[in-house]
Structure 1
Amino acid sequence: MSDVVNWGVLGYARIAKNSVIPAIERADNARVYGVASRNASELPSGEWQQSYSDYAALLADKAIDAVYIPLPNSLHKEWVIRALEAGKHVLCEKPIGLTADEAREMQQVADKHQRLLMEAFMYQYTDRVKVIKEAIDSGELGEIRHINVSFRFLLDRPNTIKMQPALGGGALYDVGCYPVNFIGMVTGRLPVVCKALCETEQGVDTNLSALLQYDDGLIANIHCGFNAFGRNYAEIIGTKGMLCIDNPFLDDAGTLYLHTAQGVRELPVSESDRYQAEIRHFSDAVLNKPSRLIPLAETVRNMQVLDMIREAL
C-alpha cells in the first residue's frame, strides 16, 4: 500500500472548500484525488486528479481510499452507508446523523465491511484539548460537579441549509453537538435526566439551552444558537478547582485559567492545525499506523444525548 491516502470529497460545501480540502493538501500522508459536486461547474478546473458530476461516480472510483462527507445532515446516513458499501473509509462531518439509531446503523455497516468510520469533531485534535485533559487528569479540580459549555454565533447568511428543517438544520445539530460532545468527553457517560428550552424560527431551533444531570448528581448545561452575538466558552468546576476555557472548539493559541485555593494559574495553549491533524490521524489509521481516532461508541453516545435533548423540548 502507498504511504499516501487518496481522498474523495462528496460535495463542495463551504467547510470542504475552505477548511478540509486545504487540510488534506497540508497533510503529508494524504492527497485530494477527486471531488464530486452536483453543480460540477462550481469545481475549479485542474485542481485534482478527478472531478465527478455525481457522488456515485466518485464512490465507484477504485483509486479512492477514503471519503470525506460534508453534505447536509439529512444526507449523512445514506451516503455514509453507500461509501462504506463501496469499500471506502469514511470521515463524516458532525453530527454523523439525525438520531442515535442512524448512528448505530452506520456503525453496523462499517463493522460489516471492515472500514473505518469517524465523526469529524476536529476540535479534539488541538493542543487546547490536550491541556484540558491534562488538567482534569491531574486531580487539581477534585471531583467534577458542574460543566458549562456555550457555542453560538450570529448567522447572517441568507438561504443557508442551517435554516432548513428538512435538511437537518437548527442550532442543536449545527453547533450544539459540540458542547454535547465536550461534556461526553469529560464525563464519559450518559446523563440520566435532561431538560431543555429553545427558541425557533422557520421550523428550526435558533436558541437552545439544555440541562443534563448524571447518576452521581453532576449537572451540566449546554447553550447553543445562531440568532445573537457569538460565544465559545466552557468551564469545568470541581470540589477543589475550576478550569475556565475560552474558545474550546478553536485551535488558536491562548490561555486556560485554573482556579484553586492557591490562586489562579495560567495554562498556556499552543496554536494547532485541527483539520490537518484530524486528516493526518485518520489517514494514518487507514494506512494501519498508530493513530488516535474518535471511537464510534462516543459518536453513538453523542447522538443519544442529542435525542434526549430533542425529546425534552
Structure 2
Amino acid sequence: MANWGFLGAGSIARSSLAPAVLATGGAVLHAVAAGDLDRARALGPRRTYAAYEALLQDPDVDVVYIALHNSAHLPWVTAALRAGKHVLCEKPLGLSAAEVDAMAQTAREADRLLVEAAWNRWHPRTRAMEALFEAGELGTVRAVTARFDGLAPAEGNYRLDPALGGGALYDVGYYAVSAALAAFDWATPQVRWAEQSRWHPDSADSETAFVLDFPGRGSAEIHCSLDGASAEEFTATGSTGSLHLSSPAFCAGAAPAQLTAAASTRTYPAVDPYQLMVEALDQAVAGHPRYLVPLDQTRLIAATIDLVRSNCAQLAQS
C-alpha cells in the first residue's frame, strides 16, 4: 500500500528491513539512499539515490525508514517529517528524552506517523507478555531481572563511539529496559545505583549494570554488555506468580520461543517480527488501526536511559 524509502543500506536494512518490505503484500521498496550506490542497489529498490536529501524530495515516497547510526536519528527524522513523510526509525529513536520530545513535536506539526523500530515489540510473545502485565496476571510485580549480553562490535563500528550514540546501554540495554518498564506498567523509575565499564577511556560503554526502583512496587536489576558473550534473560516475579522468557528473551524470531507464566508454558512459532512491524505501519499509513509502539513508551525508555547515564556520569566524577 505504501512506497518505502530507506536512508541507509547497512546490515540491518540489508538483512531485515528490505526483506520485510519485499515480503509484505502491497508494500513497495521504492527507493534507497546510501553513500555506496552498489549497496543501495543490492536491496532491490526501484530507485537509488546518493544523497539522503534527494530521497526525501521524491514525491512518491510515503514512508521513510531510517537505519543510520544513533546520533543521526534526530536530524534525519526531523528532515523526513518536514518533507511530509511518515517515519520508522531504528531504536533508540533519540539519544535523550529531549530528542524524542523534539521529534514527536515535529511529527504532530507535520501530521505524520513517527514510530520507533523496536521490532521485538511486534513479536507475538512480547505482545502476550505485555498483555499479561497489563491484565495484572502476576499480581503486583515486585522484582525483575533482565540481562542482555551481546557480541563485541568490530573495530570501526559506531557502537564503539560515544559521539555516534554507541555503547551497550543504547544498543542491547534498550531491550532490557523496555521489558522492565512494561513489567511495572510503564511507571517512571528511580535509579538506585548504576555503573559502567568501557573498552577504553574514550569509548562508549562496553557494559552497564543498574537497579531501577519503582516506589511502592519493587525493583529491576538490569545488566547489559557488548563484551563478546551471548545471553538474553528475563524474569518477573509478582505477588501471585512469575513470568520467564526462554532464551533469547528479547530477540526471538528465527526459532520457536517460549513464555512461562502461572505454571504453564506457551510456545510461539518462528516468525519474522520485522515483517509484522512493516505490515503494521504499512496498514496504519493506509488508515487501518494497527498496533504501533506508543511514543510515550518510547519517551519513557529514553528518559530512563537518561537517568542511568546521569547516575553513571556522577559516579565517574566522584
The residue correspondences of 1:36-75 to structure 2 (distance < 5 A) are 36-44=33-41, 47-75=44-72
My pick for the range that moved more, 293-302 or 67-76, is: 293-302
Q: Tell me the distance in 2 between the aligned counterparts of 1:93 and 1:58.
A: 18
The residue number in structure 2 matching 1:150 is 147
Q: Tell me the distance in 2 between the aligned counterparts of 1:137 and 1:298.
A: 14
Instruction: Please state how far the C-alpha of 1:156 moved relative to its aligned partner.
Output: 5.1
SS in 1 for 2:41: coil
Instruction: Please state how far the C-alpha of 1:138 moved relative to its aligned partner.
Output: 5.7
SS in 1 for 2:260: strand
Q: Percent identity?
A: 33
Q: Please tell me the residue identity of whatever aligns with 1:288.
A: G
The residue correspondences of 1:3-152 to structure 2 (distance < 5 A) are 4-44=1-41, 47-136=44-133, 139-152=136-149
The residue number in structure 2 matching 1:191 is 189
SS in 2 for 1:44: helix
Is contact 1:128–1:248 with CA below 8 Å preserved after alignment? no
The residue number in structure 2 matching 1:205 is 205
1:236-294 Cα deviation digits (max 9, x unpaired): 10112211112232223132223x5xxx4222222221000000101111111111111
The residue number in structure 2 matching 1:235 is 235
The residue number in structure 2 matching 1:266 is 265
1:131-153 Cα deviation digits (max 9, x unpaired): 32344356442221011111121
My pick for the range that moved more, 75-84 or 296-305, is: 296-305
Change (3 A) 1:293 1:10: same
Instruction: Please state how far the C-alpha of 1:63 moved relative to its aligned partner.
Output: 0.2
The residue number in structure 1 matching 2:315 is none
Q: Tell me the distance in 2 between the aligned counterparts of 1:19 and 1:197.
A: 33
Is contact 1:103–1:303 with CA below 8 Å preserved after alignment? yes
Q: Does 1:222 align with 2:225?
A: no
Compute the TM-score of the two structures, normalised by the length of structure 1.
Answer: 0.93
SS in 2 for 1:102: helix
Q: Tell me the distance in 1 between the aligned counterparts of 2:42 and 2:137.
A: 54
SS in 2 for 1:227: coil
CA RMSD of aligned residues (A): 1.6
Gaps of 5+ in 1: none
The residue number in structure 1 matching 2:249 is 248
The residue number in structure 2 matching 1:292 is 291
Change (3 A) 1:87 1:300: same
Change (3 A) 1:136 1:217: closer
The residue number in structure 2 matching 1:302 is 301
Q: Please tell me the residue identity of whatever aligns with 1:242.
A: S
Q: Tell me the distance in 1 between the aligned counterparts of 2:111 and 2:137.
A: 41
1:36-84 Cα deviation digits (max 9, x unpaired): 0012233336922100001000000000000000100010000000000
The residue number in structure 2 matching 1:173 is 170
Is contact 1:131–1:269 with CA below 8 Å preserved after alignment? no
Compute the TM-score of the two structures, normalised by the length of structure 2.
Answer: 0.92
Instruction: Count matched residues.
Output: 306
Q: Tell me the distance in 2 between the aligned counterparts of 1:42 and 1:272.
A: 26
Q: Tell me the distance in 2 between the aligned counterparts of 1:244 and 1:236.
A: 7
Instruction: Please state how far the C-alpha of 1:182 moved relative to its aligned partner.
Output: 1.4
Q: Please tell me the residue identity of whatever aligns with 1:240.
A: T
Q: Tell me the distance in 1 between the aligned counterparts of 2:180 and 2:300.
A: 11
1:102-138 Cα deviation digits (max 9, x unpaired): 1100000000010000111111111211332344356
SS in 1 for 2:58: coil
Is contact 1:127–1:271 with CA below 8 Å preserved after alignment? no
Instruction: Please state how far the C-alpha of 1:301 moved relative to its aligned partner.
Output: 0.9
Gaps of 5+ in 2: 313-318
